Amino acid sequence: MKSKLYVNEIGYRPEDKKIAVYCGKEAVKYTIIKDGTECVSEGVSGEGVYNSTTNDYEIKIDFSDIKECGTYVVKAGEVFSVPFTVAENVYEEVRKSLMRFFFLQRCGVELTKEYGGDYAHKICHNTPARIYGTDMFKEVNGGWHDAGDYGRYIVAAAVTLAALFHAIENDESLLKVDMQIPESGKAMPDILSEIRYELEWMLKMQDEATGKVYHKVTCAGFCDFIMPEYETEELIICPFSLTATADFAACMAMAVKFYEPYDKAFADRMADAAKRAYAVMRSIQVPGGFLNPEGVVTGTYEDKNERDEQYWAAAEMYKAFGDELYKKEFEDYVNQEIMHGYGWEDVGSFGNLAYLSTTYPTDETVSRKLREAMVEKADLLMKKCEANNFDISFDENDFIWGSNMYIAENGSHLFDAYKITGDEKYLEAAKEHIQYIFGKNPCNVCFITGFGTNQVLEPHHRPSAAAKKAMPGMLIGGPDSGLHDPDAIRDCTGLAPAKCYTDKLLSYSTNEVTIYWNSALLMLMAQVL
C-alpha cells in the first residue's frame, strides 16, 4: 500500500509528537480518522516546501493532539496514510525483535526449531580456521554472523557491543526482556547472555602469545544464498590490525563492569585481555590500514584513520581501570583533535562518553572541550533537520551506503546535546530520526523487517533468502545515492538521493543488514523512547 502520505507505520505513544508528511505543493484539507470511521480531528495545511533531497514539495501535518489509544489513518485530500497505532507499549514488540536478531545470527551452534523458528539451522562454521599465510589452525567458533553474509569481523563486533552497552545504561528495562533464547530464565539477563556469546568469540580472536587481535574470520569469498551450515569452504583468519586490536581493548574494558556481578572470573579474563591488547596495539604498523590479503574478497572494514580507535580505547581503559597512563593518552588525543562517531569507522564519540562518565578524576578543561564540541556537532545536525521536511539531519549528500545507520547515529549525537544542555529541541529532533526509520520517509517503507504495512520483503540476507521469508527485526541499510550495485543502478538511476532505495535481494548497497545497524537503532531507542 504505497501513497504519498508518510507516517510512522509502527505507531506513536500518546504523548509523542506526531507529524505526517504529505507530498504536495498546494495547501490541503486533512482529517484524522480513528478505528476506520470516526473523524477525530481536521484542518487545512500550509503550502508545500521544496525538499532538495526528494525533489518534491512536501507539507507537514501535525496531529500531536491525538492522544487516545487506538488505530488511526491520516487523510490529506483524497490520499490516505497506512494505518498506525497509538499506544503506550507500541514499541515493545519491535524492540524485542531488534534484540532477538542477534540470537538468530549466532554462528557455530545449532539453532533448533524451538528457538530459531523458520531460521533454524544445524551447527555451522565449527571447523578450525587457518591463520592466513601459515599452516597453523586456530579454533575461533562462535559469535554472530555479521550481516547478510556469514563473516565475523572484530571492528563490527566491537561497535555493536558498545552500542548495546550504552543502550542498557540508558534503559535498564532491556535487562528484563525475555529474548526467548536457551539461556532465558537464568540469573544473568538475556541481553547480557547474548552479548557474552559474542564476547567469548572475540576473546578467541586474540593471539595468546602477543595480545594482538586478528581482524576477521571468513571464507575466501561469499557463498550463495544458503543456510550457514552449507557454507563449508575453508575458514581463514586474516592478519592482525591496529583497528581490531584497539576496538577489542575498548570493548573488553567496557564489558567488565556488566559481568562482574554475575561472573567475576569472566570479567577478570576480559580485563586482562583488554590490557594486553591496549599494550600492544601501536606495534601493529600496517601502512594505510587493514586491507584484504591476496585471495580474500570478503568484507574489508578498511580504515585509514586509526587514531579514533586508539582514542576510544584510551578513554574506555581509563573509565574501567583508572590508570593515569590511559587518562594522559586520551587527553593528549583530545588536545590534538576531538573526534566523533558511533559507527564502525568513526568511533570517537564512544571515547567522549567514556571520559565524561568515568568515576575517576578528569580534567575539567578537557571535559568542557568535549561537551562544547558535542553540542557544536549537534547544532550542525540541527541546521540540517530544520532544512529537511522529514526533520532528519540529512542533506542531499548524506544518503550513502548504510544511511540508516547514520540516521540512528545522528540521533544519538542529538541526544548527547540534550543530555549536556537540557534543551528539548535536541531530544525531539532525535526522536524524529526514529520516526523516519519506522516509516515517515520518502521511500514510504518501514525499514525494520517484519513491521509496518509497507514492509521490506527481500533483504540482502542469506538466511532470509534461504527460508524465503524476511527474518523479522532487521534494520536495513536504506537509500544510497551512490548506486553501488546493479539493482540499485537499474531501479534508482535518476531518482532523488532520498529515494535511491530498492527492495531487492541482490541490492547489497541499499537492502543489506548488519549487527551494528541494529545496535545503533537500539541505542537511540533506549535514549529517547
* Residues that are catalytic: 149, 460, 503, 512
- As given in the structure block, the three cell numbers for residue 393 are 539531519
AA identity, residue 390 = F
Assign 206 to helix, strand or coil. Answer: strand
DSSP string, 104-168: HTB-SS-B-HHHHGGG-B---S-SPEEETTSS-EE----SB--BSS--EEHHHHHHHHHHHHHHH
Residue type, 86: V
Q: Which three cell numbers stand for residue 380?
A: 550542525
Measured distance CA(513)–CA(150) in Å, rounded? 12
User: Cell numbers of 381, please?
Assistant: 545536525
Output phi, psi for 335, to 5 deg: -70, -20
Listed in sequence order, the DSSP H helices in 323-362 are 324-336, 348-357
Written as nine digits, the cell of 387 is 532544512
How many CA atoms does the CB half-sphere of 341 hold within 13 Å? 16
Q: Can you tell me the distance from the alpha carbon of 432 to that of 392, in angstroms, rounded to the nearest whole number? A: 7
Is residue 40 within 8 Å of 32, Cβ to Cβ?
Answer: yes
CA torsion through residues 72, 77, 79, 81, sign: negative
Q: Report whether 348 contacts 302 (CB < 8 A).
A: no
Task: State the Cα–Cα distance between residues 434 and 439, nearest whole angstrom.
Answer: 9
**HEC readout, 443-510:** CCCECECCCCCCECCCCECHHHHHHCCCCCCCEECCCCCCCCCHHHHHHHCCCCHHHCCCCCCCCHHH
* Paired strand residues for 106: 144
* Angstrom distance (rounded) from CA 280 to CA 108: 29
State the virtual CA torsion across 521, 523, 524, 525 in degrees, nearest 10. Answer: 80
DSSP-derived letter for residue 498 is G
Residue 380: phi, psi to the nearest 5? -65, -40
CA distance 133 to 202: 21
Q: Which of 175, 156, 154, 153 is nearest to 99 (CA)?
A: 175
Longest Cα–Cα distance of the chain, Å, equals 73
